[in-house]
Chains A and B, each alone.
Chain A
Amino acid sequence: MPNMPRFNFHRPGTMEEALDLVSRFRASVKVMCGGTDLVPKMRAGVAVAENVVSLTRVPGLSTISYRDDDGLVIGGTARISDVARHPDVRRHYPALAYACDKMATVQIRNMGTVAGNLANAAPSADTAAPLLAYGASLVLVERGGRRQVPLEDFFTGPGLTVAEPMEIIEAIRVPAPPLRSGSAYLRVSARSKVDIAAVGVAAALNLDLEGRVIGVRIALAAVGPTPLRARQAEDMLMEQIPDHDLLARAGAACVRTAKPIDDVRASANFRRAMVQTLAQRVLARCGRLARGEDAQ
Protein backbone atom coordinates (compact mmCIF):
# COMPACT_ATOMS: atom_id res chain seq x y z
CA MET A 1 0.00 0.00 0.00
CA PRO A 2 1.67 3.27 -1.06
CA ASN A 3 2.21 5.86 1.62
CA MET A 4 0.40 9.14 1.65
CA PRO A 5 2.41 11.99 0.17
CA ARG A 6 3.09 15.02 2.36
CA PHE A 7 0.93 18.12 2.31
CA ASN A 8 -0.20 21.01 4.47
CA PHE A 9 -3.74 20.76 5.80
CA HIS A 10 -6.03 23.73 6.39
CA ARG A 11 -9.36 23.83 8.19
CA PRO A 12 -10.85 27.27 7.48
CA GLY A 13 -13.78 28.27 9.72
CA THR A 14 -15.31 30.74 7.26
CA MET A 15 -15.92 30.92 3.50
CA GLU A 16 -13.71 34.05 3.25
CA GLU A 17 -10.83 32.20 4.83
CA ALA A 18 -11.38 29.20 2.55
CA LEU A 19 -11.42 31.40 -0.57
CA ASP A 20 -8.26 33.23 0.58
CA LEU A 21 -6.46 29.90 1.06
CA VAL A 22 -7.40 28.42 -2.32
CA SER A 23 -6.51 31.67 -4.03
CA ARG A 24 -3.16 31.96 -2.24
CA PHE A 25 -2.17 28.34 -2.95
CA ARG A 26 -3.81 28.06 -6.38
CA ALA A 27 -0.65 26.62 -7.94
CA SER A 28 -0.94 23.46 -5.83
CA VAL A 29 -4.17 23.19 -3.88
CA LYS A 30 -7.08 20.77 -3.55
CA VAL A 31 -10.24 21.39 -1.60
CA MET A 32 -11.59 18.43 0.31
CA CYS A 33 -15.04 17.49 1.60
CA GLY A 34 -15.44 13.81 2.47
CA GLY A 35 -12.06 12.86 1.05
CA THR A 36 -13.50 9.60 -0.31
CA ASP A 37 -12.11 10.32 -3.77
CA LEU A 38 -9.24 12.62 -2.85
CA VAL A 39 -7.57 10.51 -0.13
CA PRO A 40 -7.30 7.33 -2.25
CA LYS A 41 -6.17 9.41 -5.24
CA MET A 42 -3.45 11.15 -3.25
CA ARG A 43 -2.32 7.84 -1.82
CA ALA A 44 -2.10 6.42 -5.33
CA GLY A 45 -0.23 9.49 -6.55
CA VAL A 46 -2.99 10.32 -9.03
CA ALA A 47 -3.86 13.60 -7.28
CA VAL A 48 -1.03 15.81 -6.07
CA ALA A 49 -1.30 18.95 -3.93
CA GLU A 50 0.95 20.73 -1.46
CA ASN A 51 -2.09 22.19 0.26
CA VAL A 52 -5.37 20.55 1.15
CA VAL A 53 -8.21 22.82 2.28
CA SER A 54 -11.04 21.09 4.12
CA LEU A 55 -14.42 22.76 3.67
CA THR A 56 -16.31 20.80 6.32
CA ARG A 57 -16.06 23.54 8.95
CA VAL A 58 -17.38 26.34 6.77
CA PRO A 59 -20.67 27.28 8.45
CA GLY A 60 -23.91 26.92 6.50
CA LEU A 61 -22.29 25.12 3.56
CA SER A 62 -24.00 21.78 4.27
CA THR A 63 -27.55 23.14 4.06
CA ILE A 64 -30.14 21.46 1.84
CA SER A 65 -33.26 23.53 1.15
CA TYR A 66 -36.26 23.42 -1.16
CA ARG A 67 -38.85 26.01 -2.21
CA ASP A 68 -41.58 25.49 -4.80
CA ASP A 69 -40.65 28.72 -6.59
CA ASP A 70 -36.87 28.34 -6.35
CA GLY A 71 -36.24 24.59 -6.43
CA LEU A 72 -33.60 22.66 -4.55
CA VAL A 73 -30.32 24.06 -3.26
CA ILE A 74 -27.72 21.50 -2.15
CA GLY A 75 -24.87 23.11 -0.22
CA GLY A 76 -21.28 22.43 -1.23
CA THR A 77 -20.58 20.18 1.76
CA ALA A 78 -23.98 18.41 1.97
CA ARG A 79 -23.37 14.69 2.54
CA ILE A 80 -24.84 12.12 0.17
CA SER A 81 -26.67 10.39 3.04
CA ASP A 82 -28.30 13.67 4.10
CA VAL A 83 -29.43 14.37 0.54
CA ALA A 84 -30.81 10.81 0.31
CA ARG A 85 -32.96 11.16 3.40
CA HIS A 86 -34.14 14.75 2.82
CA PRO A 87 -37.97 14.65 2.54
CA ASP A 88 -38.15 17.20 -0.30
CA VAL A 89 -35.52 15.34 -2.30
CA ARG A 90 -37.48 12.11 -1.85
CA ARG A 91 -40.74 13.80 -2.84
CA HIS A 92 -39.65 15.94 -5.79
CA TYR A 93 -36.40 14.39 -7.08
CA PRO A 94 -36.79 10.59 -6.98
CA ALA A 95 -33.96 10.01 -9.47
CA LEU A 96 -31.49 11.87 -7.25
CA ALA A 97 -32.83 10.23 -4.09
CA TYR A 98 -32.37 6.82 -5.72
CA ALA A 99 -28.77 7.59 -6.72
CA CYS A 100 -27.90 8.89 -3.25
CA ASP A 101 -29.59 5.89 -1.58
CA LYS A 102 -27.92 3.22 -3.64
CA MET A 103 -24.43 4.41 -4.54
CA ALA A 104 -21.28 3.28 -2.70
CA THR A 105 -21.64 2.10 0.91
CA VAL A 106 -23.18 3.49 4.08
CA GLN A 107 -19.82 4.78 5.30
CA ILE A 108 -18.92 6.41 1.97
CA ARG A 109 -22.38 8.05 1.75
CA ASN A 110 -21.92 9.36 5.31
CA MET A 111 -18.63 11.01 4.32
CA GLY A 112 -18.96 11.83 0.64
CA THR A 113 -20.72 14.86 -0.81
CA VAL A 114 -22.65 15.58 -3.99
CA ALA A 115 -20.26 18.46 -4.79
CA GLY A 116 -17.28 16.10 -4.43
CA ASN A 117 -18.99 13.51 -6.64
CA LEU A 118 -19.46 16.15 -9.38
CA ALA A 119 -16.06 17.86 -8.99
CA ASN A 120 -14.32 14.47 -9.13
CA ALA A 121 -15.89 14.15 -12.60
CA ALA A 122 -15.85 10.38 -12.97
CA PRO A 123 -17.85 9.39 -16.08
CA SER A 124 -19.69 6.99 -13.74
CA ALA A 125 -20.51 9.58 -11.03
CA ASP A 126 -23.90 8.51 -9.75
CA THR A 127 -25.33 11.92 -8.90
CA ALA A 128 -24.31 13.44 -12.26
CA ALA A 129 -26.85 11.71 -14.52
CA PRO A 130 -29.91 12.55 -12.37
CA LEU A 131 -28.73 16.14 -11.90
CA LEU A 132 -28.17 16.52 -15.66
CA ALA A 133 -31.70 15.20 -16.24
CA TYR A 134 -33.04 17.84 -13.82
CA GLY A 135 -31.15 20.67 -15.56
CA ALA A 136 -29.07 21.47 -12.47
CA SER A 137 -26.37 24.12 -12.35
CA LEU A 138 -23.41 24.78 -10.07
CA VAL A 139 -22.65 27.95 -8.18
CA LEU A 140 -18.86 28.42 -8.27
CA VAL A 141 -17.28 31.04 -6.01
CA GLU A 142 -13.78 32.46 -5.84
CA ARG A 143 -12.38 35.42 -4.00
CA GLY A 144 -14.24 38.40 -5.41
CA GLY A 145 -16.41 36.51 -7.86
CA ARG A 146 -19.26 34.08 -8.36
CA ARG A 147 -20.60 32.37 -11.47
CA GLN A 148 -23.31 29.87 -12.25
CA VAL A 149 -22.41 27.04 -14.66
CA PRO A 150 -25.00 24.64 -16.09
CA LEU A 151 -23.96 21.11 -15.15
CA GLU A 152 -24.04 20.12 -18.81
CA ASP A 153 -21.19 22.59 -19.47
CA PHE A 154 -19.23 21.54 -16.37
CA PHE A 155 -17.56 18.27 -17.37
CA THR A 156 -14.78 18.36 -19.97
CA GLY A 157 -13.31 14.86 -19.69
CA PRO A 158 -12.60 12.06 -17.22
CA GLY A 159 -11.62 13.86 -13.98
CA LEU A 160 -11.76 17.23 -15.74
CA THR A 161 -14.13 20.18 -15.31
CA VAL A 162 -14.30 23.87 -16.14
CA ALA A 163 -13.73 24.77 -12.46
CA GLU A 164 -10.46 26.56 -11.69
CA PRO A 165 -8.28 25.43 -8.74
CA MET A 166 -9.27 28.51 -6.73
CA GLU A 167 -12.99 27.99 -7.29
CA ILE A 168 -15.22 26.27 -4.77
CA ILE A 169 -18.61 24.72 -5.48
CA GLU A 170 -20.78 26.68 -3.10
CA ALA A 171 -24.05 25.04 -4.08
CA ILE A 172 -25.85 22.90 -6.60
CA ARG A 173 -29.13 24.43 -7.78
CA VAL A 174 -31.86 22.22 -9.19
CA PRO A 175 -35.03 23.74 -10.71
CA ALA A 176 -38.37 22.77 -9.18
CA PRO A 177 -40.04 19.98 -11.16
CA PRO A 178 -42.90 21.18 -13.39
CA LEU A 179 -46.46 19.83 -13.11
CA ARG A 180 -47.10 16.43 -14.75
CA SER A 181 -43.47 15.46 -14.63
CA GLY A 182 -41.66 12.29 -13.64
CA SER A 183 -38.03 11.30 -13.21
CA ALA A 184 -36.04 8.14 -12.60
CA TYR A 185 -32.51 6.75 -12.50
CA LEU A 186 -31.33 3.17 -12.91
CA ARG A 187 -27.83 1.75 -12.86
CA VAL A 188 -26.20 -1.63 -13.26
CA SER A 189 -22.88 -2.71 -11.86
CA ALA A 190 -20.90 -5.93 -11.91
CA ARG A 191 -21.73 -7.29 -8.47
CA SER A 192 -24.10 -5.09 -6.53
CA LYS A 193 -25.02 -1.53 -5.73
CA VAL A 194 -21.70 -1.05 -3.94
CA ASP A 195 -19.74 -1.26 -7.18
CA ILE A 196 -19.10 1.78 -9.30
CA ALA A 197 -21.82 1.89 -11.97
CA ALA A 198 -21.03 0.10 -15.25
CA VAL A 199 -23.95 1.91 -16.90
CA GLY A 200 -26.50 4.41 -15.58
CA VAL A 201 -29.45 6.14 -17.23
CA ALA A 202 -31.46 9.02 -15.78
CA ALA A 203 -34.37 10.92 -17.28
CA ALA A 204 -36.86 13.63 -16.40
CA LEU A 205 -40.00 13.94 -18.50
CA ASN A 206 -42.80 16.46 -18.53
CA LEU A 207 -46.20 15.97 -20.26
CA ASP A 208 -49.01 18.29 -21.33
CA LEU A 209 -52.68 17.64 -20.52
CA GLU A 210 -53.02 15.36 -23.58
CA GLY A 211 -50.04 13.31 -22.48
CA ARG A 212 -47.62 14.70 -25.06
CA VAL A 213 -43.98 15.27 -24.13
CA ILE A 214 -43.29 18.98 -23.65
CA GLY A 215 -39.94 18.63 -21.90
CA VAL A 216 -37.42 15.83 -21.56
CA ARG A 217 -33.80 15.37 -20.58
CA ILE A 218 -31.98 12.04 -20.67
CA ALA A 219 -28.47 11.51 -19.26
CA LEU A 220 -26.16 8.52 -19.58
CA ALA A 221 -23.44 7.58 -17.08
CA ALA A 222 -20.29 5.51 -17.61
CA VAL A 223 -20.64 5.23 -21.38
CA GLY A 224 -18.38 8.10 -22.45
CA PRO A 225 -15.56 10.34 -21.22
CA THR A 226 -18.11 12.42 -19.30
CA PRO A 227 -21.74 11.89 -18.32
CA LEU A 228 -23.68 12.50 -21.57
CA ARG A 229 -26.98 14.07 -22.64
CA ALA A 230 -28.86 11.88 -25.12
CA ARG A 231 -30.16 14.70 -27.31
CA GLN A 232 -31.18 12.62 -30.29
CA ALA A 233 -33.50 10.55 -28.12
CA GLU A 234 -34.83 13.71 -26.47
CA ASP A 235 -35.67 15.27 -29.86
CA MET A 236 -37.42 12.08 -30.91
CA LEU A 237 -39.70 12.22 -27.86
CA MET A 238 -40.68 15.90 -28.03
CA GLU A 239 -44.34 16.59 -28.91
CA GLN A 240 -45.07 12.85 -29.03
CA ILE A 241 -47.13 10.48 -26.91
CA PRO A 242 -44.48 8.26 -25.30
CA ASP A 243 -45.88 4.81 -26.11
CA HIS A 244 -43.97 1.55 -25.97
CA ASP A 245 -42.71 1.69 -29.58
CA LEU A 246 -41.48 5.23 -29.27
CA LEU A 247 -39.65 4.42 -26.04
CA ALA A 248 -37.94 1.49 -27.75
CA ARG A 249 -36.78 3.80 -30.57
CA ALA A 250 -35.68 6.43 -28.04
CA GLY A 251 -33.68 3.69 -26.26
CA ALA A 252 -31.98 2.87 -29.57
CA ALA A 253 -31.18 6.56 -30.04
CA CYS A 254 -29.58 6.59 -26.56
CA VAL A 255 -27.41 3.66 -27.67
CA ARG A 256 -26.25 5.72 -30.69
CA THR A 257 -25.24 8.57 -28.35
CA ALA A 258 -23.31 6.28 -26.01
CA LYS A 259 -19.56 5.89 -26.62
CA PRO A 260 -18.85 2.92 -24.37
CA ILE A 261 -15.49 1.23 -23.96
CA ASP A 262 -14.46 -2.24 -22.80
CA ASP A 263 -13.03 -2.16 -19.28
CA VAL A 264 -12.91 -4.21 -16.08
CA ARG A 265 -16.51 -3.37 -15.23
CA ALA A 266 -18.20 -4.34 -18.49
CA SER A 267 -17.71 -4.81 -22.21
CA ALA A 268 -18.79 -2.12 -24.64
CA ASN A 269 -21.40 -4.48 -26.09
CA PHE A 270 -22.92 -5.22 -22.71
CA ARG A 271 -23.01 -1.50 -21.99
CA ARG A 272 -24.84 -0.79 -25.26
CA ALA A 273 -27.43 -3.47 -24.50
CA MET A 274 -27.91 -2.08 -21.01
CA VAL A 275 -28.34 1.49 -22.25
CA GLN A 276 -31.24 0.28 -24.39
CA THR A 277 -32.90 -1.63 -21.55
CA LEU A 278 -32.35 0.95 -18.83
CA ALA A 279 -33.40 3.87 -21.03
CA GLN A 280 -36.70 2.16 -21.91
CA ARG A 281 -37.40 1.31 -18.27
CA VAL A 282 -36.45 4.73 -16.98
CA LEU A 283 -38.54 6.55 -19.61
CA ALA A 284 -41.53 4.26 -19.01
CA ARG A 285 -41.34 5.00 -15.31
CA CYS A 286 -41.05 8.76 -15.93
CA GLY A 287 -44.19 8.54 -18.08
CA ARG A 288 -46.13 6.68 -15.38
CA LEU A 289 -45.07 9.18 -12.72
CA ALA A 290 -45.94 12.14 -14.97
CA ARG A 291 -49.41 10.67 -15.64
CA GLY A 292 -49.89 10.07 -11.92
CA GLU A 293 -50.17 6.28 -12.43
CA ASP A 294 -47.23 5.30 -10.31
CA ALA A 295 -46.74 6.54 -6.76
CA GLN A 296 -43.06 5.62 -6.58
Chain B
Amino acid sequence: MAKEIIELIVNGDRYEVAVEPWRTLAEVLREDLNLTGTKIGCNQGDCGACTVLMEGRSVSSCLTLAAEAHQREIVTIEGLAQGPEDLHPLQEAFVEHGAVQCGYCTPGMILSAKHLLDHNPTPSEQEIRQGLSGNLCRCTGYSKIVEAIGAAAAKMAPAGEGE
Protein backbone atom coordinates (compact mmCIF):
# COMPACT_ATOMS: atom_id res chain seq x y z
CA MET B 1 0.00 0.00 0.00
CA ALA B 2 2.70 2.36 -1.06
CA LYS B 3 2.36 5.88 -2.28
CA GLU B 4 1.55 6.33 -5.91
CA ILE B 5 2.63 9.20 -8.14
CA ILE B 6 -0.43 10.83 -9.64
CA GLU B 7 -0.80 13.76 -11.98
CA LEU B 8 -3.36 16.44 -11.24
CA ILE B 9 -4.26 19.27 -13.59
CA VAL B 10 -5.40 22.03 -11.28
CA ASN B 11 -6.44 25.42 -12.67
CA GLY B 12 -4.48 24.59 -15.81
CA ASP B 13 -1.24 23.71 -13.96
CA ARG B 14 0.14 20.19 -13.93
CA TYR B 15 1.27 18.75 -10.61
CA GLU B 16 2.90 15.42 -9.86
CA VAL B 17 2.23 14.30 -6.31
CA ALA B 18 2.97 11.14 -4.37
CA VAL B 19 -0.23 10.20 -2.56
CA GLU B 20 -1.48 7.34 -0.45
CA PRO B 21 -4.53 5.86 -2.16
CA TRP B 22 -6.85 6.57 0.76
CA ARG B 23 -6.26 10.32 0.78
CA THR B 24 -8.98 12.56 -0.60
CA LEU B 25 -8.66 15.20 -3.25
CA ALA B 26 -9.61 17.85 -0.66
CA GLU B 27 -6.70 16.80 1.57
CA VAL B 28 -4.18 16.69 -1.26
CA LEU B 29 -5.26 20.09 -2.66
CA ARG B 30 -4.92 21.69 0.76
CA GLU B 31 -1.97 19.87 2.28
CA ASP B 32 0.24 18.98 -0.69
CA LEU B 33 -0.57 21.71 -3.21
CA ASN B 34 -1.21 24.44 -0.62
CA LEU B 35 -4.45 25.37 -2.36
CA THR B 36 -6.28 26.08 0.88
CA GLY B 37 -9.20 27.92 -0.75
CA THR B 38 -11.00 24.57 -0.86
CA LYS B 39 -12.46 24.02 2.62
CA ILE B 40 -13.33 20.87 4.51
CA GLY B 41 -16.48 21.23 6.60
CA CYS B 42 -18.38 18.01 7.25
CA ASN B 43 -16.07 15.62 5.35
CA GLN B 44 -19.11 13.54 4.38
CA GLY B 45 -20.76 15.14 1.38
CA ASP B 46 -23.37 17.24 3.17
CA CYS B 47 -22.08 20.80 3.35
CA GLY B 48 -20.46 21.62 -0.01
CA ALA B 49 -17.49 23.55 1.45
CA CYS B 50 -15.13 21.24 -0.46
CA THR B 51 -16.82 21.69 -3.86
CA VAL B 52 -14.46 21.79 -6.86
CA LEU B 53 -15.05 21.26 -10.56
CA MET B 54 -13.71 18.02 -12.00
CA GLU B 55 -13.96 17.74 -15.79
CA GLY B 56 -16.41 20.64 -15.59
CA ARG B 57 -18.76 19.08 -13.02
CA SER B 58 -19.15 20.17 -9.42
CA VAL B 59 -18.07 17.38 -7.06
CA SER B 60 -17.40 17.00 -3.34
CA SER B 61 -13.62 16.75 -3.06
CA CYS B 62 -13.99 15.24 0.44
CA LEU B 63 -15.57 12.14 -1.13
CA THR B 64 -13.26 12.01 -4.16
CA LEU B 65 -10.06 10.03 -3.78
CA ALA B 66 -7.06 11.97 -5.05
CA ALA B 67 -5.99 8.87 -6.97
CA GLU B 68 -9.37 8.90 -8.73
CA ALA B 69 -8.61 12.45 -9.91
CA HIS B 70 -5.42 11.27 -11.68
CA GLN B 71 -5.11 13.17 -14.98
CA ARG B 72 -8.45 14.88 -14.48
CA GLU B 73 -8.91 18.63 -14.91
CA ILE B 74 -9.72 20.28 -11.61
CA VAL B 75 -10.83 23.88 -11.04
CA THR B 76 -10.63 25.30 -7.52
CA ILE B 77 -11.54 28.76 -6.25
CA GLU B 78 -7.91 29.81 -6.85
CA GLY B 79 -8.49 29.26 -10.58
CA LEU B 80 -11.31 31.75 -11.09
CA ALA B 81 -9.71 35.18 -10.74
CA GLN B 82 -7.40 36.26 -13.55
CA GLY B 83 -5.34 38.30 -11.06
CA PRO B 84 -5.66 40.07 -7.71
CA GLU B 85 -7.42 43.03 -9.34
CA ASP B 86 -9.36 40.95 -11.81
CA LEU B 87 -11.98 38.91 -9.99
CA HIS B 88 -14.40 36.55 -11.72
CA PRO B 89 -17.88 38.16 -12.12
CA LEU B 90 -19.25 35.73 -9.51
CA GLN B 91 -16.59 36.78 -7.02
CA GLU B 92 -17.26 40.46 -7.74
CA ALA B 93 -20.98 39.97 -7.28
CA PHE B 94 -20.46 38.14 -3.95
CA VAL B 95 -18.40 41.10 -2.71
CA GLU B 96 -20.82 43.74 -4.01
CA HIS B 97 -23.92 42.04 -2.59
CA GLY B 98 -22.48 41.26 0.83
CA ALA B 99 -22.81 37.52 0.17
CA VAL B 100 -19.69 36.74 2.21
CA GLN B 101 -19.66 36.78 6.01
CA CYS B 102 -17.24 34.32 7.61
CA GLY B 103 -16.40 33.10 4.10
CA TYR B 104 -16.07 29.42 4.91
CA CYS B 105 -18.82 28.36 2.51
CA THR B 106 -17.89 30.91 -0.18
CA PRO B 107 -15.43 28.93 -2.35
CA GLY B 108 -17.86 26.02 -2.57
CA MET B 109 -20.82 28.34 -3.18
CA ILE B 110 -19.00 30.08 -6.01
CA LEU B 111 -17.97 26.83 -7.68
CA SER B 112 -21.51 25.46 -7.42
CA ALA B 113 -22.73 28.73 -8.90
CA LYS B 114 -20.20 28.42 -11.72
CA HIS B 115 -21.37 24.88 -12.46
CA LEU B 116 -24.97 26.16 -12.53
CA LEU B 117 -24.25 29.10 -14.85
CA ASP B 118 -22.10 26.95 -17.16
CA HIS B 119 -25.18 24.75 -17.72
CA ASN B 120 -27.90 27.37 -17.38
CA PRO B 121 -26.72 30.96 -18.03
CA THR B 122 -30.10 32.52 -17.14
CA PRO B 123 -31.41 30.66 -14.08
CA SER B 124 -34.59 31.64 -12.23
CA GLU B 125 -34.36 32.33 -8.51
CA GLN B 126 -35.70 28.86 -7.83
CA GLU B 127 -33.13 27.29 -10.14
CA ILE B 128 -30.38 29.19 -8.30
CA ARG B 129 -31.67 27.87 -4.98
CA GLN B 130 -31.84 24.32 -6.34
CA GLY B 131 -28.34 24.70 -7.76
CA LEU B 132 -27.11 25.49 -4.23
CA SER B 133 -28.96 22.57 -2.59
CA GLY B 134 -25.63 20.93 -1.78
CA ASN B 135 -24.04 24.00 -0.14
CA LEU B 136 -24.74 25.06 3.43
CA CYS B 137 -24.10 28.55 4.82
CA ARG B 138 -24.48 29.23 8.52
CA CYS B 139 -24.06 33.02 8.27
CA THR B 140 -25.82 34.77 5.43
CA GLY B 141 -29.31 33.27 5.35
CA TYR B 142 -28.71 32.61 1.63
CA SER B 143 -30.68 35.60 0.26
CA LYS B 144 -27.63 37.66 -0.56
CA ILE B 145 -25.90 34.68 -2.12
CA VAL B 146 -28.91 34.07 -4.36
CA GLU B 147 -29.01 37.78 -5.29
CA ALA B 148 -25.29 37.81 -6.06
CA ILE B 149 -25.58 34.82 -8.38
CA GLY B 150 -28.56 36.38 -10.18
CA ALA B 151 -26.59 39.60 -10.64
CA ALA B 152 -23.52 37.75 -11.91
CA ALA B 153 -25.68 35.79 -14.35
CA ALA B 154 -27.18 39.01 -15.72
CA LYS B 155 -23.72 40.50 -16.12
CA MET B 156 -22.22 37.41 -17.76
CA ALA B 157 -25.12 36.57 -20.09
CA PRO B 158 -24.65 37.59 -23.70
CA ALA B 159 -26.57 40.79 -24.56
CA GLY B 160 -30.32 40.19 -24.94
CA GLU B 161 -30.36 36.99 -22.87
CA GLY B 162 -30.02 38.53 -19.42
CA GLU B 163 -32.97 38.69 -17.06
Contacts and interface: CB of A to CB of B under 8 A. Distances in A.
Interface of A: 1, 4-9, 11, 32, 34-36, 39-40, 42-43, 52, 54, 56, 81, 104-108, 110-111, 192-194
The residue among B1, B45, B48, B135 with the most chain A CB atoms within 10 A of its own CB is B45
A107 B23 contact: no
A106 B43 CA distance: 16
B64 A111 contact: yes
Contact of A106 (B1, B64, B133): B133
Interface residues of B, number: 30
Contacts of A7: 1, 21-22
B153 interface: no
B4 interface: yes
Interface in B133-148: 133-135
B131 to A, nearest CB: 6
B133 A36 contact: no
A111 B70 contact: no
A105 B133 CA distance: 6
Given A35-B65, A40-B63, A107-B112, A4 B134 contact: no
Contact of A35 (B57, B68, B135): B68
Contacts of A52: 21, 65
Interface string B52-75: 000001111001110110100000
A1 B133 contact: no
Contacts of A104: 134
Interface in B77-114: 112
B63 A110 contact: no
B63 to A, nearest CB: 5
Contacts of B24: 4, 39
Nearest to A106: B134
B51 interface: yes
Contact of B60 (A9, A54, A111): A111
Contacts of B21: 6-9, 52
Contacts of B45: 36, 40, 105, 107-108
The residue among A5, A54, A105, A192 with the most chain B CB atoms within 10 A of its own CB is A105
B115 A35 contact: no
Given A6-B22, A8-B21, A106-B58, A1 B70 contact: no
A1 B4 contact: no
B47 to A, nearest CB: 10
A39 B21 CA distance: 12
B20 interface: yes
B64 A35 contact: yes
A34 B59 CA distance: 10
A59 B48 CA distance: 29
A180 to B, nearest CB: 33
Contact of A56 (B1, B58, B68): B68
Contacts of B51: 107
Contacts of B20: 6
B57 A39 contact: no
B60 A107 contact: yes
Nearest to B119: A85
Interface string B22-50: 11100000000000000000011100100
